[in-house]
Amino acid sequence: MNELNSLRAFVKVVEVGSFAEAARQMGTSKSVVTKRVNQLEEHLELELLQRSTRRLSITDTGSALYERCVRILAELDEAKSEVSSVEWGLSGTFRVSCISSFTAAYLARDLCEFQMEHPNLQIELQQQDRICDPVQEGLDVCLQPTAPPSKVVEAVDLLPLRRMVVATPSYLSRHGEPRHPEALAAHRFAHNSHVHPTYAIDFHDGRDTIRAPFTPIMLTNTVWQLRAAVLWGDCMAMMPAFFIEKELVAGELVPVLPSLRIKSVNLSAYFRKAPFVPMKIRIFLNFLRQRYGDFPPWEQRLIEAKPELSGVLGPRKTKEDIVGERR
């Protein structure tokens, strides 16, 4: 028995809850994974997993072993990664998923540059319009605004995805421009119910939160459809600023209620919880943080082109900032 392979197989089966899925992620057959776990149980003379035709569950003994194995394997992988990185740079396979809108706008290019900096690293990208679970799907890191339900996942916030409600000038000329959040209830909306399941927007005036309900005429899970619907000129929608930068600068879209901020969401990195974050993940996250930060370049360009957008974009100004500007 290769004890290390058996321990890895056991940990993977526990994490994904299936011998078949564990085999898929490990690049081997279900029979091999089953054999490794069986050998481990025989070697320890303990039952680690309870199998039935409908369900796979972990025993108390198996749970205790799993917790120790996770720490041991994480330390081993970290040691191997550090030694390899010092000698050769990052190597192996790096599996990433990201929401499709940010992938198309920025991440696809970022990954090309990151791979050039680490030429021995093989990058696999999955573009998604759903919430991914890095543990269940065998990914190193998932970049998305919403957490997966898994309890064995950690999160790191990378950058803000500040949003605004926008419409075309022609729509506002026909239907009128809302002067307060409550007026949105009378307007036509396209809405991404996948990212934001409630039919209401929380605005902030600097002191209070104002909830503005609306009734959508179109629901979708992709921001491309939102942009198409708004540009068609028959509705408004809430969208992230990075995705509509060109349309805002060109005047094809204009902000609605530009003096009020919408509650911000973050693009966050989700990865398997472990005592040590693998070096390739740490280096990649630092790469993205240095590139974007809390005041991403698209917001800087938008505020430079449209100073009136400083009310809804950029880091929120403190009292000290305001006093300094007045001086």
Residue 322: what pLDDT? Answer: 36
- For the chain, residues classed under CATH 1.10.10.10 are 3-85
The dihedral region occupied by 257, where left means phi > 0, alpha psi between -120 and 50, and beta the remainder, is left
CATH number belonging to the domain at 3-85, selected among 1.10.10.10, 3.90.78.10, 3.40.50.300, 2.60.120.560: 1.10.10.10
- For the chain, residues classed under CATH 3.40.190.10 are 89-160+266-294
Tokens read off for 134: 């890095």
Mean pLDDT of 177-204: 90
The dihedral region occupied by 95, where left means phi > 0, alpha psi between -120 and 50, and beta the remainder, is beta
Whole-angstrom distance, CA of residue 3 vs CA of residue 171: 67
Mean pLDDT of 120-125: 93
- Looking at per-residue confidence, does 113 or 321 come out higher? 113
Encode pLDDT of 47-89 as tens digits.
888 887 777 888 888 888 888 888 888 777 777 666 555 444 6
Encode pLDDT of 217-264 as tens digits.
999 988 999 999 999 999 999 999 999 999 999 999 999 999 899 988
Of the pLDDT bands very low, low, confident and very high (cuts 50, 70, 90), residue 160 is very high
CATH dotted code for 163-263+307-319: 3.40.190.290
Domain 89-160+266-294 fold is: D-Maltodextrin-Binding Protein; domain 2 (3.40.190)
Percent of the chain with pLDDT over 70: 93
Tokens read off for 56: 């796979």
Residue spans of alpha helices (H) in the chain = 3-16, 19-26, 30-44, 60-88, 100-102, 108-117, 169-175, 223-232, 245-250, 279-292, 297-305, 319-326
